[in-house]
Amino acid sequence: MASKQGGLPGSRSFERRSPSGSVRRRTSIKPGVFAYLAAASVLVTAGCPHSGSGVSKPSSTTQQSSSPEPTPIAPPATPPLLPSAANGATMQITVTDAAGAVSGAQVAAYGPTLAQAVTDSNGQVALGSLPIGSYTVRVDAAGHQGCTGAFSVSAARQSLTLAISVVAVSQPLTGTVEDTAGHPLAGARLALGDAWTMSAADGTYQLAAASPGAITVKKTGYAVATTTGGVVQLTAQQPKVAFEDSPFAGVEGAPSAAFASLESSLQAAGFSVENQDDPTADVRVWAAPASLGSISPTDVASYVQAGGKIVMMGDWGGASNYRPDLADDLLLPLGVGIENDLVRVDTGNLGRPEWFSPIVGSGPASVGVNSISVYGAASLQSATPMQVVAGIPSGGYRVQDVNANAVGIVRQVGTGLVVALGDTDAWTNDASDDVAQYDNLKFATNLIAW
């Protein structure tokens, strides 16, 4: 998919070619230095009733109830390819409520890697091969308020235990999210403590909160509002999107050149667009980064947890010095990971298996989108619950021959949002591009405007 080319001194440069062999885009990116200081190990904490080895006070991170907006695409299996440790730690978790063990609960841990499983009939699950570092742990069980906590692995082969008690919810908070004209708004993020969800296509929501309170409601392009249930109306305002300039230093002059079609599409949709790092922007976009400069993963996580939205566009296999590890430095603390693989399909496509048409999921990203086409995408992993917005077609597989399910994922974190795509320039086509006959540009615009 990518071939090394000459370019600026100290830069990376590659060409992306279509099945016809025509060049889609040439990109040159100067390498940079990204320093990441690992957090010190701490003991287990949780934001819901619990007990266990190394337990301390509650944390403030949030948790989602089941989304009322289903997706027809099966979520990825437990990630087998993200970093793991052969001599890593194991975490034994038991989930209960007032009536006893809770079976079928989704339990996920994410930090240096992703690990997730479903509790058995005894409410138990074991997560293993966990490298040293700090993790968030989440439990999501149907009919219960979700809860979020944290734990740390401080030594190889460490054994940790954690007992988490979730609260059953018999009557969720319900209502509808609308604009000021009374039109339903899909994909609005609602959060109340450790309970969070999104509004469905018709604007309705069901929030599994254990007790009533002020629900925070946020959607890109609208002012933040609060509600205690029922109908809530959001007032439109101009959103601002920042295309981070550090990964694109030296790329065809500026990010505005590489992403001109996408920026024009966003401006037509009412966005204010800028080409610089701006933590005050409603949406921050990274594209196949080779460097993150002084951007801190901790600061980005705080930005999302406070209601911000990030979009990470990856690429396959570390093509042309793209650094999947840097992308994951930002994504993994938020429960999402980009692999350094290449998704292919085993038949068809005129003998060019790197080119395929992902399955388009439901939700705001699919509005006005009939089909999309991707050339050379990496696969994605995500902690549940999440939504797959671009799935691998039948016959798709990684180059490592491990089943893959997604090249597009959306995950809510409180009132914040994380969007990850397994490819970069395929989502930003213009009239001269080989994928112009597809709805890639509309799809990318929808995701940023979600």
> Cα angle vertex 77, ends 76, 83, to 5°?
95
- Residues 250, 150 share a domain: no
Whether 59 is covered by a domain: the verdict is yes
Q: How many domains does the chain have?
A: 3
Instruction: Give the CA distances from residue 135 to residues 152, 262, 333, 340, 350, in Å, rounded to whole numbers and listed in that order.
Output: 6, 35, 8, 22, 44
Round to whole Å and give the CA distance between 137 and 127.
11
Among 134, 153, 168, identify where a domain stops. 168
Burial class (CB in 10 A: 0-12, 13-18, 19+), 370: exposed
Q: What's 230's domain CATH number? A: 2.60.40.1120
* Two structure tokens written together for 327: 């992308």
- Phi, psi angle pair for 229, to nearest 5°: 125, 165
Round to whole Å and give the CA distance between 379 and 396.
10
- Residues 194, 152 share a domain: no
* Two structure tokens written together for 68: 């009322």
pLDDT score, position 342: 84
- Residues 307, 227 share a domain: no
* Two structure tokens written together for 178: 């609308």
Among 141, 168, 195, identify where a domain stops. 168
Round to whole Å and give the CA distance between 437 and 447.
19
Instruction: Give the CA distances from residue 214 to residues 152, 195, 229, 289, 304, in Å, rounded to whole numbers and listed in that order.
Output: 32, 12, 8, 38, 20
* Two structure tokens written together for 447: 């995701």
Which positions ≥6 away from 351 have C-beta within 8 Å?
Answer: none
pLDDT digit string (tens) for the chain, length 450 residues: 333 222 222 233 333 433 333 333 333 322 222 222 222 233 344 456 655 544 332 333 333 333 344 344 554 444 446 777 788 999 999 999 999 999 999 999 999 999 999 999 999 999 999 999 999 999 999 999 999 989 999 999 999 999 999 999 999 999 999 999 999 999 999 999 999 999 999 999 999 999 999 999 999 999 999 999 999 999 999 999 998 765 444 444 445 555 778 888 899 999 999 888 899 999 999 988 888 888 899 999 999 999 999 999 988 876 667 888 899 999 999 999 998 888 887 665 555 667 788 899 888 999 999 888 887 788 899 987 789 999 988 777 766 555 568 999 999 999 999 999 998 877 776 555 555 568 888 999 999 999
Whether 152 is covered by a domain: the verdict is yes
Model's pTM, two decimal places? 0.81
Round to whole Å and give the CA distance between 286 and 275.
11
- Residues 112, 162 share a domain: yes
- Residues 345, 268 share a domain: yes
pLDDT score, position 355: 76
pLDDT score, position 105: 96
Whether 27 is covered by a domain: the verdict is no
Contact criterion met (CB below 8 Å) for 53 and 161 = yes
Bridge partners of residue 4, in order along the sequence:
14
Whether 108 is covered by a domain: the verdict is yes
pLDDT score, position 12: 31
DSSP code per residue over 279-313: TTSSEEEEES-S--TT--HHHHHHHHHTT-EEEEE
Helix-helix angle 440-449:260-268, to 10 degrees: 60
Round to whole Å and give the CA distance between 339 and 377.
10
pLDDT score, position 352: 65
Give me the domain span that covers residue 188.
173-234
Whether 316 is covered by a domain: the verdict is yes
Q: What's 384's domain CATH number? A: 3.40.50
* Two structure tokens written together for 304: 């999302």
pLDDT score, position 256: 53
Contact criterion met (CB below 8 Å) for 247 and 222 = no
Contact criterion met (CB below 8 Å) for 417 and 411 = yes
Measured in whole angstroms, how far is the alpha carbon of residue 245 from the centre of its chain? Answer: 21
pLDDT score, position 167: 96
Q: How many CB atoms lie within 10 A of CB 220?
A: 21
Contact criterion met (CB below 8 Å) for 418 and 331 = yes
- Residues 290, 380 share a domain: yes
- Residues 87, 60 share a domain: yes
pLDDT score, position 294: 85
- Residues 158, 58 share a domain: yes
pLDDT score, position 11: 31
pLDDT score, position 353: 64
* Two structure tokens written together for 450: 């979600």
Whether 428 is covered by a domain: the verdict is yes
Whether 419 is covered by a domain: the verdict is yes
- Residues 65, 198 share a domain: no
- Residues 252, 227 share a domain: no
* Amino acid, single-letter form, for residue 198: M
- Residues 419, 299 share a domain: yes
pLDDT score, position 423: 87
- Residues 406, 279 share a domain: yes
pLDDT score, position 55: 34
